[in-house]
Amino acid sequence: MKKAKIKAYAEFKKGTVDQRLYGSFLEHMGRVIYSGIYEPGHPLADEQGFRMDVIKAVKDLGITSVRYPGGNFVSCYEWEDGVGPKDTRPRRLELAWKAIESNQFGTNEYMEWLKKVNASPMLAVNLGTRGLKEAVNYLEYCNFPEGTKYSNLRILHGIKQPYGVKIWCLGNEMDGEWQVGHKTAAEYGRLALETAKAMKIADPDIELVSCGSSLNTMDTFPEWEAETLNYTYDYVDYISLHQYFAGQEKPVIEFLGQADEMDQYIKTVISVCDFVKAKKRSDKTLNISFDEWGVWAHDSNETVKECNAVKWQEAPAISEMIYTHQDALLFGGMLLALIKNADRVKMACQSLLTNVSATIMTEKGGGLWLQPNYYPFSQAARYAKGDVLNTVLECEYYEKGQKKIPYIDAVILENHAENEIILFAINRHPKETIELSANLYGFNIDKIIESSVMESDDRLATNQFDHNNIVPHDIDNCGITTDGILVELKPLSWNMVRIHLQ
């Protein structure tokens, strides 16, 4: 049996987890909204048309915040279309996904739905086809108490109390040539700067997110970050990162090892932020909002073909990816990358919540089922709280050229509120069980509370037909040692161990 070791020390902490790390993302794309979370007439819909089975699944998932309305969608969106009486809302051509948008779900419905799932809002403004004026008007509608044009309009729509939206994203993926209203770094930087200044005059308590590069493979990366932050650094609080990984045809260890690229992506952007901080002689540290992330299970060109095949339909089924066990392990590795960088990554949004690159799949008029990637997220959202510990990992590597991919990916946290240590570990080895020794120095271990594993003999297995095919289960694979614990990690497995302290 292969062996590995991870060391953690009570006095050495990486950072504290912000619970907004466990956010998700809603966009008017495919069936994310319509027949995803919102389906009037469904047997399980409430009086507002929200699917109650989805609400329960979202609450069980542990979602803390939700970004809306996009995504590419936001760059053509007129927020005024989605408020007020539904019978007066216009039907529009939706250019991002070549659909018809009914606007039956908008800001007011989003805010009501958030209450039901106990999550906080994260709104994006349109800096593609619109700009400063419309962004400030939207902010006024949502946050100003009363007595002005847009606050009174909100009250006329039956919402007396302001929503008090704290987090606002200044556009979406503006360096992407696919983006309607695509801009150069200088064009975006100038517009984002002036929009940020105006929005913070209107409401000084908000926090703003400046657009980073759409992916770390963009030709614009990382110069985009450096140039746009020259404009926005003093007026924003976060910079956004987006990342989707594919490559299911790769050897499994290389596929799973992409999570390490996400970790490096984060560190590179931190370096750029700190460079601009030094250049500006600033005392402010800029943090990261990783507000789109996930696994993409087919070629992006397929999504384009799907959109063309069903264009100008209302909420057509597109990009409804079925995730495998190995997809869920990569998803889990991406989640661990966020947790490891909790000192600077303060917000994140798994993309998307339902049906499109999703954790939750719904049937129109029918039931729902949970994809394998639902479970690493739900465990982390429930238990990965408190301080992330600095760790030293010793294990064997897979080598290809200059690239080294460790077979073990792991993170350890101390949850002070529950007086426990939590270990999350992924065994990326396709064949070998690995015995992991976790040395926990400075802690007095009482007992093992729980040890669970998500595993499969078939790395391409899904939950599509047998909805309980890939789920975590308790396992007796862990023991207490003099210095910590010893746990056996099965091949291609996601593992969680909870340890109570004396």
* Residue-wise pLDDT tens digits, 256-292: 999 999 999 999 999 999 999 999 999 999 999 999 9
Q: Judge if pTM exceeds 0.95.
A: yes
CB-based contacts of 46, cutoff 8 Å, min separation 6 = 52, 116
Question: For 340-347, what is the mean pLDDT?
Answer: 98
d(CA 285, CA 295): 30
Give the residue numbers marked as catalytic.
Answer: 173, 292
Tell me whether residue 88 is exposed, middle or buried, using C-beta atoms within 10 angstroms of its C-beta: 0 to 12, 13 to 18, 19 or more: exposed
Whether 316 contacts 30, CB under 8 Å: yes
Cα distances (Å, whole numbers) of residue 129 to 13, 171, 179, 434: 44, 10, 10, 53
| Residue in 57, 40, 58, 41 with CA at minimum distance from that of residue 49 | 40
With the CA atoms of 230, 231, 233 and 239 taken in that order, what torsion angle do they form, in degrees rounded to the nearest 10? -90
- Is residue 90's pLDDT more than 90? yes
Q: Which domains does the chain have, with CATH numbers?
A: 2-11+387-501 (2.60.40.1180), 18-383 (3.20.20.80)
Question: Which DSSP letter does residue 146 get?
Answer: S
- Is residue 401's pLDDT more than 90? no
Q: Look up residue 363 and give its two tokens.
A: 């049937």
Tell me whether residue 229 is exposed, middle or buried, using C-beta atoms within 10 angstroms of its C-beta: 0 to 12, 13 to 18, 19 or more: buried
Cβ-based neighbour number of residue 357 at 10 Å: 28
Whether 104 contacts 50, CB under 8 Å: no
Model confidence pLDDT, tens digit, residues 384-398: 999 999 999 999 999
Whether 257 contacts 405, CB under 8 Å: yes
d(CA 212, CA 169): 11
Q: Of the ranges 40-49, 129-138, 211-220, which one carries the lowest mean pLDDT score?
A: 211-220
Q: What is the mean pLDDT of the chain?
A: 97
The number of C-alpha atoms within 13 Å of 223 and in the hemisphere containing its C-beta is: 7
* pLDDT score at 100: 98
